[in-house]
Amino acid sequence: MGFARIEGPPERMRGVNINGGKGPEHPASLPDRGKTGGMVAVGDTLYAWINQQDGTWPDVSFTLAWLLDKGATWSNSGWVFPKGAGRIKPGTFLQYGKGYSGVAKALAGYVYFYAVRQGNEAEL
């Protein structure tokens, strides 16, 4: 699994591999397998749901990872939403603007995400 940034003006945009994958600026800091689900920036911290690819889709576990250094080093929370019928499967985050700066005061202090119960994906 790799992470990249896009840089440059529209007429000269290019991708730069930051972490993992082929020819990265930094070696992979997350397991060799997994796929990124929803991502959100809160201030300067980027969070991502990681599909652990430990089963046949959609019966997979998810974990939360984050980075503080613009993609150089990801940290895995160790929290796992385990696979299995009836279990919560994170999807994506509710966005509140750049760096989560637009969240209403009544909702501040929390990050919100969407999820489904495994086995209920057809209801979406």
Strands 3-7 and 74-81, by their bridges, are: unpaired
Question: Does the pTM of the predicted model rise above 0.85?
Answer: no
| pLDDT single digits (tens) 29-44 | 876 778 888 999 999 8
Instruction: Give DSSP secondary structure letters for 19-85.
Output: ESSSS-SB---S-SS-EEEEEEEETTEEEEEEE---SSTTS--EEEEEESSTTS-EEEEEEEE--ST
CA-to-CA distance for 120 and 110, rounded, in angstroms?
26
User: pLDDT tens for residues 63-96?
Assistant: 999 988 887 888 888 889 999 989 999 999 999 9
